Structure 1
Amino acid sequence: MIKTRFLSNLLLSFIWLAVTGDFSFINFVFGFTLSFLLMWLISQRGEDNRYLYRGPKVVAFIFFFLYELVKANLQVAYDVITPSYFMKPGIIKIPLDAKTDMEITLLANLITLTPGTLSLDVSDDRKVLYVHAMYVKNKDRFIADIKNGFERKLLEILR
């Protein structure tokens, strides 16, 4: 059902491009957003509307990840260009709520993409993710940031 909704959204977006005669990327994004809103307005409550509720969450997650990416880049860059180091590296054991291989892989990759952190390993029972971090002032706070940030938001999208 989600694939059908997404394909319908794409089809309506291409119809918008054809009707307006402007085949620019900005116009495509506008048409995609407009068709998404129209589909949301005319959807009935009894239908499976996961696609319509995941869309905004995906956009919010992208902005959240970009914010975390910029923040981590600035922290590492500041540490590199200043004469004193603020690093306090450590290996952290993060308990996982993610269960499937895809959820665990995406979470580990998102953590690794953020400068200053690196996913090292997943336990054999897939309940713990080991992460190396350059800035661990408080282990509990670091774990809470990962659990309430990356993992929670990722699982909201995937489940």
Structure 2
Amino acid sequence: MIKTRFLSNLLLSFIWLAVTGTFSFENFVFGFLLSFILMWLISTNRREDSYFKRGPKTIGFIFFFLYELVKANIQVAYEVITPSHLMSPGIIKIPLTAKTDLEITLLANLITLTPGTLSLDVSDDRKVLYVHAMHVRDKDKFIEDIKNGFERRLLEILR
């Protein structure tokens, strides 16, 4: 059902591009959002359709990730520019709520894409992710940030 809704949304977006005659990324995004809203309005069971729940969560996750990416880049750039050594590196053992290979892989890759952190390994029983971080001042807060940030939001989209 989700794939059908998404493909319908894409089709309506391309129809929007053809009707307006303006083939730009901004117009495509506008058409995609417009068709999403229209599909939501004409849907009979909005509350039960997971496509309409996952769409806004996915967009929210993208903005959350971009925020974390910019924040980490600024932190790493500051560390490189300043002469003082303020790093407190460490390897952290993060217990996983994610169970499937897809969930674990996406979480590990998102952590690795964020500057200053690197996913090192997953335990054999797939219950723990080992992460190296440049700035670990409070281990429990770091684990909580990963669990309540990346992992929780990712699982809301995938499940």
TM-score by length of 2: 0.97
Amino acid at match of 2:44: Q
The aligned counterpart of 1:60 is: 60
Runs (4+) of structure 1 exceeding 3 A deviation are none
1:1-159 equivalent positions in 2, closer than 5 A: 1-45=1-45, 48-159=48-159
Q: Deviations over 1:118-159 (max 9, x none)?
A: 000000000000001110000000000000000000000000
CA distance in 1, matches of 2:21, 2:70: 37
Cα distance, 1:48 vs structure 2: 4.7
Amino acid at match of 1:24: S
CA distance in 2, matches of 1:46, 1:113: 34
Identity in percent:
82
CA distance in 1, matches of 2:28, 2:2: 20
CA distance in 2, matches of 1:46, 1:138: 42
Give SS of 1:87's match: coil
Q: Deviations over 1:43-87 (max 9, x none)?
A: 112785111111111111111101101111111110111111110
> Kindly tell me: are residues 47 and 156 of structure 1, through their superposed partners in 2, closer, same or farther at Cα, counting changes over 3 Å?
closer
Amino acid at match of 1:87: M
Give SS of 1:68's match: helix
Give SS of 1:124's match: coil
Amino acid at match of 1:107: L
More deviation, 25-34/95-104: 25-34
Give SS of 1:115's match: coil
Amino acid at match of 1:8: S
List alignment gaps of at least 5 residues for structure 1: none
TM-score by length of 1: 0.97
Give SS of 1:104's match: helix
Amino acid at match of 2:40: W
